Structures are given as C-alpha cells and as structure tokens.
Amino acid sequence: MKLVFHSQPVKDMKSAVAFYRDILGMEEAWREGNHTVSFKANTDTQILLEDDKIEREFGPGSVFLVDNVDAYFTSNQSTLNFVKEPCDIPPGRYAIFTDDSGNPIRIIDMSKQ
C-alpha cells in the first residue's frame, strides 16, 4: 500500500478550493466534476477535497493505492471491517475499511487507466 491522498470532506467546494489555492498556495492537480478536487501539497501525497455529501459518514482519512482493490478485499474480507465494498470510480476501483478505532482507510487502484 502506498499513501497517495488525504481525503478532506468540505461543505463548500468553491470556498475550499479558494482557501487551498489562494491562502495556502497549493496547485490544483486535477478535478472530477464539481465534487472532487485534488491539490499538490509539496509531497507525493495530494490533498483530496470532496463534497461532504458524498461520504459524509466516513469523514477525513488516508487513501492508499493498492494493485487490485478486489483482490485486496477478497484477501482481507475476514480480517478487516469493510464499510464500503469495492465499487467503480473514474480511474479504477475503490473501497473503505476501518481501523480498530473506527477511522476510515480508503483504498483505490488505477485499473481503468
């Protein structure tokens, strides 16, 4: 697993983008519609702003790149608490499990790129 994003739910995307871009001076890396914007944070890990209506119940957390989300899910389904089963996202597949404190750990793969 490689840490690739820190997911940050935001209430108002327009003001959040302005804050990260204009106040913090981060450079926009990419965006998906009006609900997801990623910023370069002077590190290999990007800040991923997401409309909080998408996954409000999970809150902020780390996003890790894995080779294959479905294989990871199958191999770890009995030992990890998956709260979101694998699903499609534009670059590949995505799932969420929690640590023993209930914090979300997101995994993605880039199988569609």
Residues with Cβ within 8 Å of 103's Cβ and at least 6 positions away in sequence, in order, are 61
How does pLDDT run across 64-91, given as a tens digit for each residue? 999 999 999 999 999 999 999 999 999 9
User: Could you give the percent of the chain with pLDDT greater than 70?
Assistant: 100
**Per-residue model confidence (pLDDT) at position 64:** 96
Residues with Cβ within 8 Å of 19's Cβ and at least 6 positions away in sequence, in order, are none
Which residue in the block uniquely carries the two structure tokens 């499990």? Answer: 97
